[in-house]
Amino acid sequence: MTKWFHSGRRRDLCALLYEHGELRAQSLKSRLESHYDERIDPGSFYGTLSALVEAGHLRRRTEGIADVYALTEAGEAALLDHYAWLGERIAGGDSEGTGGGGDRPEREAERGGLDLKD
Protein backbone atom coordinates (compact mmCIF):
# COMPACT_ATOMS: atom_id res chain seq x y z
CA MET A 1 0.00 0.00 0.00
CA THR A 2 1.24 3.45 -0.77
CA LYS A 3 1.93 6.05 1.87
CA TRP A 4 -1.01 8.20 0.84
CA PHE A 5 -3.39 5.95 2.81
CA HIS A 6 -1.56 6.24 6.10
CA SER A 7 -4.27 8.71 7.02
CA GLY A 8 -7.89 7.79 7.59
CA ARG A 9 -8.87 11.28 6.53
CA ARG A 10 -7.20 10.80 3.15
CA ARG A 11 -9.01 7.51 2.71
CA ASP A 12 -12.35 9.01 3.72
CA LEU A 13 -11.96 12.03 1.42
CA CYS A 14 -11.26 9.71 -1.49
CA ALA A 15 -14.26 7.54 -0.59
CA LEU A 16 -16.54 10.60 -0.63
CA LEU A 17 -15.19 11.67 -4.01
CA TYR A 18 -15.59 8.15 -5.36
CA GLU A 19 -19.24 8.26 -4.28
CA HIS A 20 -20.03 11.78 -5.52
CA GLY A 21 -17.65 12.31 -8.45
CA GLU A 22 -16.76 15.92 -7.74
CA LEU A 23 -17.28 18.03 -4.64
CA ARG A 24 -16.36 21.51 -3.54
CA ALA A 25 -13.85 21.66 -0.72
CA GLN A 26 -16.38 23.06 1.74
CA SER A 27 -18.86 20.30 0.93
CA LEU A 28 -16.15 17.68 1.49
CA LYS A 29 -15.24 19.26 4.81
CA SER A 30 -18.88 19.43 5.93
CA ARG A 31 -19.52 15.80 5.01
CA LEU A 32 -16.45 14.65 6.93
CA GLU A 33 -17.35 16.73 9.95
CA SER A 34 -20.83 15.19 9.94
CA HIS A 35 -19.38 11.71 9.65
CA TYR A 36 -16.79 12.24 12.39
CA ASP A 37 -19.24 14.30 14.48
CA GLU A 38 -16.53 16.86 15.20
CA ARG A 39 -15.03 20.00 13.72
CA ILE A 40 -11.98 19.61 11.48
CA ASP A 41 -9.26 22.26 11.62
CA PRO A 42 -9.37 24.07 8.25
CA GLY A 43 -5.58 24.25 7.93
CA SER A 44 -5.23 20.54 8.48
CA PHE A 45 -8.11 19.76 6.12
CA TYR A 46 -6.76 21.86 3.26
CA GLY A 47 -3.28 20.45 3.89
CA THR A 48 -4.70 16.97 3.39
CA LEU A 49 -6.34 18.00 0.12
CA SER A 50 -3.10 19.59 -1.10
CA ALA A 51 -1.10 16.48 -0.24
CA LEU A 52 -3.53 14.31 -2.23
CA VAL A 53 -3.32 16.69 -5.20
CA GLU A 54 0.49 16.77 -5.06
CA ALA A 55 0.60 12.96 -4.89
CA GLY A 56 -1.56 12.75 -8.02
CA HIS A 57 -4.58 11.15 -6.35
CA LEU A 58 -6.90 14.16 -6.66
CA ARG A 59 -7.33 16.83 -9.26
CA ARG A 60 -8.39 20.35 -8.36
CA ARG A 61 -10.15 22.86 -10.54
CA THR A 62 -11.52 26.28 -9.75
CA GLU A 63 -15.19 27.07 -10.18
CA GLY A 64 -15.83 30.72 -9.41
CA ILE A 65 -14.19 31.24 -6.02
CA ALA A 66 -14.45 27.59 -4.97
CA ASP A 67 -12.05 24.71 -5.49
CA VAL A 68 -13.67 21.53 -6.78
CA TYR A 69 -11.98 18.14 -6.26
CA ALA A 70 -12.26 14.78 -7.97
CA LEU A 71 -10.34 11.52 -7.89
CA THR A 72 -7.76 10.87 -10.57
CA GLU A 73 -7.44 7.40 -12.11
CA ALA A 74 -4.50 6.76 -9.78
CA GLY A 75 -6.55 7.84 -6.77
CA GLU A 76 -9.46 5.63 -7.74
CA ALA A 77 -7.17 2.64 -8.29
CA ALA A 78 -5.51 3.15 -4.90
CA LEU A 79 -8.89 3.48 -3.18
CA LEU A 80 -10.23 0.31 -4.80
CA ASP A 81 -7.02 -1.57 -3.96
CA HIS A 82 -7.40 -0.51 -0.34
CA TYR A 83 -11.07 -1.51 -0.34
CA ALA A 84 -10.15 -4.98 -1.66
CA TRP A 85 -7.39 -5.34 0.95
CA LEU A 86 -9.76 -4.32 3.73
CA GLY A 87 -12.45 -6.66 2.42
CA GLU A 88 -10.04 -9.57 2.56
CA ARG A 89 -9.29 -8.80 6.20
CA ILE A 90 -12.96 -8.54 7.14
CA ALA A 91 -14.27 -11.41 5.03
CA GLY A 92 -11.74 -13.88 6.38
CA GLY A 93 -8.91 -13.68 3.90
CA ASP A 94 -7.70 -15.67 1.04
CA SER A 95 -7.16 -19.37 0.54
CA GLU A 96 -3.37 -18.96 0.36
CA GLY A 97 -3.10 -17.99 4.00
CA THR A 98 -1.22 -14.81 3.17
CA GLY A 99 -2.89 -12.60 5.67
CA GLY A 100 -6.56 -12.90 5.67
CA GLY A 101 -7.68 -13.78 9.11
CA GLY A 102 -8.72 -17.33 8.36
CA ASP A 103 -8.45 -18.05 12.08
CA ARG A 104 -11.02 -15.37 12.94
CA PRO A 105 -13.34 -17.59 15.04
CA GLU A 106 -10.41 -18.74 17.14
CA ARG A 107 -9.20 -15.19 17.64
CA GLU A 108 -12.72 -14.06 18.57
CA ALA A 109 -12.99 -16.83 21.14
CA GLU A 110 -9.64 -15.88 22.64
CA ARG A 111 -10.79 -12.27 22.99
CA GLY A 112 -14.25 -13.16 24.24
CA GLY A 113 -16.00 -12.09 21.06
CA LEU A 114 -15.44 -9.56 18.34
CA ASP A 115 -14.56 -6.17 19.81
CA LEU A 116 -13.35 -3.52 17.39
CA LYS A 117 -12.84 -0.74 19.96
CA ASP A 118 -9.12 -1.44 20.41
pLDDT tens string, the chain, 118 residues long: the values are 455 556 889 999 999 999 999 999 999 999 999 999 999 999 999 999 999 999 999 999 999 999 999 999 999 999 999 899 889 989 875 544 444 445 545 544 444 544 444 3
Phi-psi region of 102 (alpha: psi -120 to 50; beta: other; left: phi over 0): alpha
The pLDDT value given to residue 8: 87
| Overall pTM surpassing 0.75 (yes/no) | no
The pLDDT value given to residue 41: 94
Ranges assigned E (strand) in 1-118: 22-24, 58-63, 66-71
